[in-house]
Structures are given as structure tokens and as C-alpha cells.
Structure 1
């Protein structure tokens, strides 16, 4: 856990924790998102309510740029007198600035120009939040007390440095290492029908992933620090490893979108069982069973199951009051979790800390 005087400059402490989180969790590259396009190619604007293909991370900067070039007939209002360079529509060189302008127009991103009307009141115009759309702009606004309601969204990337594999990384991801369980296909290990037929593979895997084997990373303690400073509205996680709880983040501040190993229920009679009871059975290489004969399953969400009630109840309120959305360690490819980014207001700053640029 980060140490030091947490009663000093909160921004310095939080910034240090954020830096440690991104380093220790092997999260390389920082992207800042606002309702403004970025001037740095490594800064990825998520924008207000972007199309699903953008929100899901399926379209990266290179693909987005290529798409912009391919769609340039919609952007024909070009005055040659404004540019001494060769006509970009008849050459392979498209200026980055014009691609940004095109994407800004099509996806609803905005530059700093025109945020306020002539009398400076802003009126119905969008309010400019950051002086500069980069990490320095975020930290400056933070230090001035500009962020008071922070929501965090995280995925497996914040736990990989603890030794927990993610699901989809080539060679190291969980789905690439399930051959030893002789499954008909990798996803079967998280299907209820297959669990009823053959529960042994899941509980063998659960033994490898079970809480108590791993320790929280600086990313988890960074979120805890936000909570201790009274800045955290809610922490939304796709992870089932309970490391947020172990790090000391209060349960009421956590939304475990894909469930958790922390609680367990019989699939037949629905009686609840403790973490300790199920863990004892799993580490004895037994399938935990209820006296009624049903399998006792950790409350992680299997394919075909509904998400926890809190995931449906809290986002609209949480994201409506959010002034800084921090997204860490997730490619935003899994729905409906990925769609949460659409719930924030247009003037909410979005900070993406991820391995991908």
C-alpha cells in the first residue's frame, strides 16, 4: 500500500499513487478523454455517447484515422486557398489536424474554441473544463479542487501485476490456458449447463484464482485512497478476484459487475454459504455441495446469468454526478459494462489508463 503523509497535498499523493498504479500494474500509455479532441496522438477522446464500435475499443487511433480518410467525401467543404499544401483528397497525405477536425464533427468532440458565447456566460455552449487536454491539464485541474466526484471503472489489467491472468491476452490469457481441462470450448467452463454436467474443471480453476492467494496492486490502493479522501462516488469493476475488498475499499462503494468469489449460493435451494466454507472445500479438491445435493457456486456471473442488481440500480445516479471518470486496465470490449461511459455528462473529464493507445 502506498505510504506517506496522506494529510498533505492530496493531489501530490493521488498523482504519486496513480503513477505507481500505472507502473506496477504494467499499464503503459495514458489517454485523456474530454469533450475536446486531443492534440497528442496518444490521447484518445472517448467523447459523449460515441458509437458502440468506438466505446468498445474496437476502433483504435489508426483504424479511426483510416475510417476518416475513407469517409472524407462527407467533408468536402475545403478551401484550397487556406492550405498551400497539395490537395489532400488527391494524395495519400492527410493532415492529422484535418482528420481530428473530421472526427470531432462526426463524433461530437469539441475544441476549446466556442465554449463560451460573446458575453462570456457560456449560455447553452459546452463548458471547457481543462486548460490543456493532457495529463498535465488533468493534474492542474485536480490540484485546484476541480474534481470532487470521481467514478472509477476497472478491468483485469489492474490485477495482472498481482499474478492474476486476464481472459484474452495472447498466450497468457485465461482462455488460452484451459486446454488442460479438456473442455469442449474455452467458454464452457463459465456456463451453468456445463457446470451441472461436469463441475470439476471450474472448481479446479477456481483454486488457482481464489481470494487469499493474491495481494492488491497499487491500482487498488489508489482507488482506496480516493475513497479515503472523500472523492470516490463509486468503483465499478469487472474483476471477480475481491482485491478491492482486500485493499480496504468499503463494500458499499464497490459494484462488482461480473460478480465475486466473496459470496456463494447453492444452485438448487439458493442457501448462502461463506467464503471460508467454499474455500475449504475447493482447496481440498472437492466440489462444494449443499445437503440438498446442489452445487454451491461462487456468485460470479456465468454466461446467461443476469448481472448483479447494484449494476442496474446505481450507474445513472453515479455517472450523472461524476466530474472525473477514471478507466483503468480494460479495453471496454465487454457489454454492458463498456456502455457505462455513455452515462456521464458532456463536461465530465474521462481519463483512460490502459496498455493500448
Structure 2
């Protein structure tokens, strides 16, 4: 059995990571999102953008996977599991998942903004958040940036193609903790449904996917995922 999980900010929120769409507690609540997550913002204020992402990089290191992440990793004992995640954290990997595709990039990878080469050097320490920090320079003279997808940028080809393959070859797709409004990732469950592949949505709130999903569960990831495989016969009939 091949099982593909599409995860969004909701699963990480249960580990204490604020979702970007939470108006009051979101990471963007006091910051202009376009200024710190666009190529234009990086070009105009690289020190400010680098400081913001570097602090989040260190902040994420103190966050632990929750029962939702651990359940997905445990499913590997019973199925071939692929994880397509819109999250830029590494909680799925730290929980033990082996096939994880980051369609929006990762806070734990860095690359040059000029030559695109991967950066493996030392990162500046940041015990406290600051307003601006000069990013490291690549040997080519470019600036080192987080390997995340900013507004207007294309998704990484390799991760996207693996995600499409994982969805179209799945026997079951589980969509957990995502608003289902950010495309093209939101189109993956639609692709599965169009091919007759059952889709289970796990989200405490209704989303645009809820009516179309084979099963829509108003539960949290940490609450629903640990026992989901055992519930499949009753859920899918």
C-alpha cells in the first residue's frame, strides 16, 4: 500500500509553531509579509530578511515533533509512505519520516542567490532576535539566502515532480493541517480525487476541500493520526 500525506501549517502548529495565517499569533503578524518573503524584499533589504529567517531557523530547533508527525513516521512500518509538506520546518524528518518533499523549501537549507549553489558553511549565532544581520557571502560574490519559496517564485522542480508522482500513485491520500487554498499545492488532492484515489482530510476547521474529500474529519493531527490506520475500514467502508 502506498500512502501519501499532504501536510500544512496546522500539523506544526500543534508543536507550538505559529501558522503564518494566524492573524494574532502568526509569525507575520507584526511584519509586512511581502517585505520579508519576496525577491524584491531580499534585493532591497537582505540584512532584514536574513535576520528574520535566521531567527526562525534557530527558533525551530527548539520545537519538537508532535504525535501527528510521529504517527506519520510510524506508518512506514505498514505502508510505503510519502510526505508532501508545505512546511519549511524539519519536524517530519526529525520524527523519522524518510520520504519528505518540501514544496515550499526548507529553513534548514541555504543557497547562493547568484550561482544557486548549496551553502554548507557556518551560520551566525543568534541567541536573540535582531532587526538586521548581514548574510554570508558565497565564493562567487552572491549572498546566501534561505532555500524557501518566496512570493512569485517557482516551486522546486524536483520536490514538485516527486509530490505529483506520490499523489498520482497513491492508494490513499491524507491531507492534514492545510488550508487548501494555496496553489499549486492545493491542487494535489483534486488531482487524486480526479483519478478515483480516496482522500481523507484531517482539519479542525472546514476548508475548500472538505465537501470534495472522501472523508473529512474535524479533528487535530495529533488526535486523529495515531489511530487513523486502524479506523480506515470503517472510514472508507
Query: Do both share a fold (TM > 0.5)?
Result: yes
Contact 2:3–2:79 at 8 Å: present in 1 too? no
Aligned to 1:177: 30
Instruction: Sort the Cα spacing of 1:341 and 1:286 in 2 relative to 1 into closer, same or farther, 3 A.
Output: same
Contact 1:282–1:288 at 8 Å: present in 2 too? no
Based on CA coordinates, which of the two structures has the bigger radius of gyration? 1
Instruction: Sort the Cα spacing of 1:176 and 1:353 in 2 relative to 1 into closer, same or farther, 3 A.
Output: same
How many residue pairs match? The answer is 198
- Cα deviation for residue 189 of structure 1 reads 0.5
Aligned to 2:9: 156
Instruction: Sort the Cα spacing of 1:270 and 1:323 in 2 relative to 1 into closer, same or farther, 3 A.
Output: closer
2:111 aligned with 1:270:
no
Secondary structure of the structure 1 residue equivalent to 2:14:
helix
Pairing of 1:94-113 with structure 2 (within 5 A): none
**Superposition RMSD on alpha carbons, in Å?**
2.0
Deviation digits for residues 126-150 of structure 1 (CA, Å, limit 9, x no counterpart): xxxxxxxxxxxxxxxxxxxxxx221
Task: Report the structure, 1 or 2, having the larger helix content.
Answer: 1
- Note the residue ranges of structure 1 that are not aligned, 5 or more in a row: 1-147, 179-184
Distance 1:191 1:337 in 2: 19
Contact 1:240–1:256 at 8 Å: present in 2 too? yes
Deviation digits for residues 209-230 of structure 1 (CA, Å, limit 9, x no counterpart): 2142321111111111112333
Q: 2:65 aligns with which of 213, 216, 233?
A: 216
Aligned to 2:188: 340
Contact 2:84–2:102 at 8 Å: present in 1 too? yes
- Cα deviation for residue 282 of structure 1 reads 5.2
Task: Report the structure, 1 or 2, having the larger strand content.
Answer: 2
Aligned to 1:109: none
Pairing of 1:275-314 with structure 2 (within 5 A): 277-278=121-122, 280-281=123-124, 283=126, 285-314=133-162
Distance 1:289 1:343 in 2: 41
Aligned to 2:54: 207
Pairing of 1:1-357 with structure 2 (within 5 A): 148-178=1-31, 185-210=32-57, 211-232=60-81, 234-250=82-98, 253-274=99-120, 277-278=121-122, 280-281=123-124, 283=126, 285-345=133-193, 346-357=195-206
- Note the residue ranges of structure 2 that are not aligned, 5 or more in a row: 128-132, 207-237
- Cα deviation for residue 196 of structure 1 reads 2.0
Q: With the length of structure 2 as denominator, give the TM-score of the two structures.
A: 0.75
